[in-house]
Structure 1
Amino acid sequence: MSSEVLVSRPHYDGRAVAQGLPGKDAPAGPELPQPSSGSATAGYRSAKYTPSEWFSNYRGVLEQAGTDHHEARSVQRESRTLNQDTEAATGKSQARGTRLLGERLQEIHYWKSELQRHMEQLLADTEALLALKTRLEKALDATETPFAIATDNLTCRTRRLGPDLVRDSVEEELLKEVDLIKSIQALLKRTAAQVVSQIKMNREAKLTLELDWSDKCQAYNFDENGGRHSNMSPDTQHHPSSAAMQEQVCNHSSWTKFTQDNLSKAVQEEQATNSLRVLVERLLQDTTEDLRVQCSTVNRAFSQRCAELIEAKTQLEMKLAQILEQIGAQEKNIVTLQQAIHNKEAPLRVAQSRLYLRSLRPNMELCRDEPQF
């Protein structure tokens, strides 16, 4: 039987193999003597360790165990430190998130209150404009009566006869009143159209605020529910995709600007409504005053014209009475004259009879003497 040379086996680390780490070589020990070869011991020493090899391997295992124990303690300390740090960071981050949610809720509540206030203001302004629209319509209807009266007066005055068909101050004032009423009617119609347009714009602005307010109410409810969540909440669950940024997500400045733009539009419509309300009130007051002044002017013109007509009528009646009196006197004079003429019939007959008898005188006696004359 041939002799075999026995060598020490390499150190085998089972944990390193399980963890996929490269194995460690056995520590270098003192060089062991080569076993002797012989035919008598060849069968017993084949593939066996010597005591020195066993002690060397034992010491290597102990040293490796000590090293592993030290590394394990170090890993445990690092794990505890990491656990404490991550727990503190997580608690701090969660507290910061809760605080930011609270601040966000306060901000949403503020903007929601502002939206609610301006919605109520727009609603009140719209109702006020509706009342003004009704007043304008009634004012427009009220102008029909004086317009009909003025046109009827002008129509009646065209039926005057003779020299009374004159363009006097009454007719001029009536024409002015008709033109004034027409201009007021056109102005009231334009103003009513402006009021209707402003009502439409107020409703559009209010609808925009309502949509924004509704979105903020939903966002407030979501954030409020999220702020109530804690580590002990039973209704929390994993949502892996919730942390991903969405393309349509806006930033805080654009979110604030969106609401501010909506509120600015609402404030603009509120200011326009107030200006329009002042304009309508002044318009109704001015048009009413203008109609009242023109009506007074027409009445004064009528009164003056009636006074002139009454004076002319009085003078004509006085002249008529005088003329009638003169006619009566003339009629009496005619009767007197007729009686006088009748009374002259007898003297006329006497004179004619005398002349006739004197015409019968003969010859030279028929002369033109004084009795003849």
Structure 2
Amino acid sequence: MHHIRSARRRGSSAMRPTTRLKAGAQMKESAEKNLQAKNLPLDVAIECLTLRDSRRDIDVVKDPVEEELHKEVEAIDATKKALQQKISQAFEKLCLLQEVRQQLNSDHRDKMETLDIDRGCLSLNLKSPNISLKINPTRVPDNSSSLQQWDDFSQFNKNRAEAEMKEATELREAIALTIAETNNELEAQRVATEFAFRKRLREMEKVYSELKWQEKNTLQEIAELQEDIRHLEEDLHRKLLNLKLCHTRLESRTYRPNVELCRDQAQYGLTDEVHQLEETIAALKQKLAQAQ
């Protein structure tokens, strides 16, 4: 029992993969949001380059503005690749942490069961009513292990968990650093691009005044449309969660035993709610398709 308690203490200190999983998932989500946030700047930069391709005659020049825009597109592409790589690494690490957590949970359950058995044995005495002679009680089960093997297994689980958690921490730090560095690089490039634009605009203010106004309105419309789409997607996501909840409740209630499996008010209410949610989801999907 002393060995098992010691192993449990080691296991408890290694049960932090759950915390690491949450932290890793949050960092992965942050990287995904940062990756998603790069789409609009990329679209804007590409749109600017596309707009400038419509210049005519002598105005078709490879000026500093065009050079900086190309740099911005390249910088955003490089940033997206770096973030995507980190997201893939985070996904793989989350899978490993999940595997470690499952192994630790399994080992922990086995040890809890063993503790219960040994506590029961310790509570037995000569007056216990349930003691009796057994057939070949000194036999060694085929799948039994030595104390050293048992300790090695427990230590291996602990060491593996700590190693994975250490790597997960390092990966989170690397992701945070990548996010910060790429944001700084893109911000510097954005400033450089805007400076080139301002300089060029001063040279051709009259020519670009109308174009600047159109670009501003286009960006505003894009932002508003994306906001509308985001609200629709959020609403659709909430409705899907409600539908999953209703489905799960209905499915769970099919396992009621015998006469308890009756079509009660809750059953009808859940069924009506499913139909209403399905109609709402269909309408939201149609609106979302139209908006997109």
- Same structural fold, with TM-score higher than 0.5 when normalized by the shorter chain: yes
Q: Which residue does the alignment assign to 2:90?
A: 195
Give, in angstroms, the shift of residue 106 of structure 1: 2.3
**Shift in alpha-carbon separation, 1:312–1:201, aligned structure 2, 3 A:** closer
**Runs (4+) off by over 3 Å:** 310-313
Letter in 2 for 1:256: D
Q: Which residue does the alignment assign to 1:141?
A: 36
Give, in angstroms, the shift of residue 107 of structure 1: 2.0
Q: Which residue does the alignment assign to 1:290?
A: 185
TM-score by length of 1: 0.54
Q: Distance in 1 between matches of 2:206 and 2:195?
A: 16
Q: Distance in 2 between matches of 1:272 and 1:222?
A: 37
Letter in 2 for 1:112: R
Give, in angstroms, the shift of residue 126 of structure 1: 0.5
Name which of 225, 244, 262 aligns with 2:139: 244
Q: Distance in 2 between matches of 1:171 and 1:165?
A: 10
Name which of 109, 115, 118 aligns with 2:5: 109
Name which of 286, 306, 311 aligns with 2:201: 306
TM-score by length of 2: 0.68
Give, in angstroms, the shift of residue 245 of structure 1: 2.2
Give, in angstroms, the shift of residue 312 of structure 1: 11
Q: Distance in 1 between matches of 2:207 and 2:164?
A: 63
Q: Which residue does the alignment assign to 1:278?
A: 173
Letter in 2 for 1:114: R
Gaps of at least 5 residues in structure 2 are: 209-292
RMSD: 1.7
Q: Distance in 1 between matches of 2:144 and 2:70?
A: 68
Q: Distance in 1 between matches of 2:133 and 2:123?
A: 17
Give, in angstroms, the shift of residue 249 of structure 1: 1.7
Q: Deviations over 1:197-236 (max 9, x none)?
A: 1110001011111111111111111111111111222221
State, as a whole percentage, how many aligned pairs show the same letter: 25
Report 1:73-84 matches (<5 A). Answer: none
Q: Deviations over 1:16-73 (max 9, x none)?
A: xxxxxxxxxxxxxxxxxxxxxxxxxxxxxxxxxxxxxxxxxxxxxxxxxxxxxxxxxx
SS of the equivalent of 1:236 reads coil
Q: Distance in 1 between matches of 2:20 and 2:207?
A: 60
Gaps of at least 5 residues in structure 1 are: 1-104, 314-373
SS of the equivalent of 1:242 reads coil
Q: Which residue does the alignment assign to 2:17?
A: 122
Name which of 196, 217, 227 aligns with 2:122: 227
Report 1:223-372 matches (<5 A). Answer: 223-310=118-205
Give, in angstroms, the shift of residue 243 of structure 1: 1.0
The structure with the largest alpha-carbon Rg is 1
**Shift in alpha-carbon separation, 1:252–1:285, aligned structure 2, 3 A:** same
Question: Which one has the bigger helix percentage?
Answer: 2
Q: Distance in 2 between matches of 1:115 and 1:312?
A: 71
Say whether 1:161 aligns with 2:56: yes
SS of the equivalent of 2:204 reads helix
Give, in angstroms, the shift of residue 304 of structure 1: 1.5
Q: Deviations over 1:131-151 (max 9, x none)?
A: 112112211111111111101
Q: Distance in 2 between matches of 1:244 and 1:310?
A: 96
> Number of aligned pairs?
208
